[in-house]
Amino acid sequence: MNRRQVVQGIGAGLLGVFALEQGAFAAGPDLPVVRINELYDVNGIPEVDVAPDLLNLAGRRVQVAGFVSPHTTPVADFLVLTEAPLGFCPHCQAGGDLRPDLIVFYPRAGRAGVPLRRPVTLSGVLEIGAKIDPRTGYASTVRLVDAVVGPA
């Protein structure tokens, strides 16, 4: 066994452990890819006017890559995926504007164990439409439910 085979074996093992911790990660070429920077219509109102191409994917399982932002609301059942790593909760700042480069997601296995500030890929069911989280009052237009977190 050479060094390359050992490193590949270790990497595959770590990915397997990560997948087991997060549940069966279902991503791949069959799932449509949604990009965080393409969620909203560039000619519309950010966080309100959803991109037309995205509307066709509502109710389907999709995959989205990004970084999980830290959350300061312990009662929330959701987390936020952003295009770039952030050192703060992007929607928890007083008086701060909502960011168009984020998507709310509700992890299938709960928030515990979801890696923060590291690249991940989510697989989840895309929901579109105004919704207010009953526990926090946070409003979202686009979100993933039944989301499974996997390696980037």
Domains of the chain: 3-151 (2.40.50.140)
For residue 3, pLDDT over 90 is answered with no
Q: Determine the average pLDDT of the residues in 118-132.
A: 93
Of 96, 81, 88, 87, residue with least CA distance to 37: 81
Q: 11-45: per-residue pLDDT in tens?
A: 444 444 344 344 455 555 689 999 988 888 877 66
Query: How many whole angstroms separate alpha carbon 5 and alpha carbon 151?
Result: 20
Q: How far is CA 126 from the centre of its chain?
A: 10
Strands 102-107 and 139-151: parallel
pTM of the model: 0.74
Q: 39-95: per-residue pLDDT in tens?
A: 888 776 655 688 888 999 999 999 999 998 877 677 788 888 988 877 666 555 554
